Amino acid sequence: MRLLHTSDWHLGRSLHREDLLPAQRAFLDHLVDTVRVERVDAVLVAGDVYDRAIPGLGAVELFDRILHRLAELGVPVVLIAGNHDSARRLGIAARLIERAGVHLRTEVARCAEPVLLADEHGPVAVYGVPYLEPVLAGGELGAAAVSHAAVLGAAMERVRADLATRPEGTRSVVLAHAFVVGGEVSDSERDIAVGGVPSVPAAVFDGVDYAALGHLHGSQIVHERLRYSGSPLAYSFSEANHRKSMWLVDLGPAGELTTRRIDCPVPRRLARIRGTLESLLRDPALEQHETAWVQATLTDNRRPERAMEQLRVRFPHTLQLAFEPEGGSGDGLPSYAARTRGRGDAEIALGFVRHVRGSDPDRAEQELLREAVEAAGVGASAEAGVGAGVAGGVG
């Protein structure tokens, strides 16, 4: 049986305000073409269909469109809710649309209710385990502890118990949305540490032929039978070096696996560049990044004026600008409150200018800042006095 494993579409997500809906539409067209060309028997979507619990109209329309197109091909789809999805909203009319071959597994109670597929070698039981919030799902599953490992472990015990009732030789696939120990993270996954340690051991999936995982955005192999497909698009600059893809998985008669990566279309490359503004604008080696989405980190001792405007002359798709002077200017204090404790308003204002620019304001600027702070203080005191007088008169 040939399966196409994908996840973490995050429909509706943007990249530093860059609209990604057209790129997401192109990916979904590519997915349909892959299903047709590779003669896929079933599509597995391991969670985070949407980027938000209440997705925008454009994202919903994309999702509706892809389900219709796959249904027209007659290819079953098994799909679970991820931690970005609203399980209840995603699961609306789930039992009704199963008639079209779209199997939504968004309820904890249905995690051990398999979608039963079959090929010439016999049955394949596909179990969908949605993202399980330990505090909410622990009681329903009878988990021994309120933790990700305990809750997912309890769900998998139910899966194995059901699988034991199936005919001998039934092959098994599990979809799950979780952080499995050994996985490599990026900056764009939402933290799921609520409920203790966020990771779960790979051994929790023992006893199944293939675990189609979602949540981590890098395509990776945790174990031969445990794989993340990763997100089809890069959603942060930490993913600049990711190879975005899906897994094409052939499940043999005895559960043996043959896998192949199917690359996803890249709307625009991501590049991270670093240096002084002058070097970034002049370095011929950076020519390759002129059409990329760019994250630029400036190392000038003093923050250059109109830096973003100048960068976009050469790199028109610069999306993020950071400032990290060489040598640093931090004072080693752990927080903003610690850095400002015991300082007057004028000193705080001067420190802010120093932090932003990387250098002290000149004497004229210092005087202007002090006058502004004093004037603001006088104005606030006068306003407070008027308020007190009015309150006293009323009393």
Look at 327 and 213; give whichever has higher pLDDT: 213
> What pLDDT score does 39 carry?
97
More confident call, 339 vs 143: 143
Q: Tokens 């981590």 belong to which residue?
A: 216
Q: What tokens appear for 362 in the block?
A: 């000149």
Tokens of 168: 């001998």
What pLDDT is stored for residue 187 in this prediction?
A: 80
**Per the structure block, which two tokens stand in for 17?**
């305000």
CB-neighbour burial class of residue 373 (10 A; exposed 0-12, middle 13-18, buried 19+): middle
pLDDT reading at 275 higher than 80: yes
Which sign, positive or negative, has the C-alpha torsion 52, 54, 56, 59? positive
Q: Any bridge partners for residue 116, and if so which?
A: 125
The pLDDT score that the predictor gives to residue 357 is 67
- Higher pLDDT, residue 356 or 165: 165
The sign of the dihedral angle between the CA atoms of 25, 10, 206, 88 is negative
Which tokens belong to 264?
């996803």
Q: What does the pLDDT read at residue 381?
A: 43
What is the tens place of the pLDDT at every residue in 79-128?
999 999 999 999 999 999 999 999 999 999 999 999 999 999 999 999 99
Phi, psi of 318 (to 5 degrees): -70, 125
- Average pLDDT value for the chain: 89
* Domains of the chain: residue spans and CATH: 2-263 (3.60.21.10), 270-379 (no CATH)
Whether pLDDT at 156 is above 80:
yes
pLDDT of residue 355: 67
- With vertex at residue 344, the alpha carbon angle to CA 338 and CA 347, rounded to the nearest 5 degrees, is 85
- Res 328: pLDDT: 60
Sheet holding 270-275, edge to edge: 270-275, 293-298, 318-323
The pLDDT of residue 332 is: 39
Q: Within 10 A of 59 (CB to CB), how many other CB atoms are there?
A: 21
Tokens representing residue 166 in the block: 């199936």
Q: What is the pLDDT of residue 391?
A: 41
**Residue written as tokens 């999306």?**
319
Angular region, 293: left φ>0, alpha ψ -120 to 50, beta rest: beta
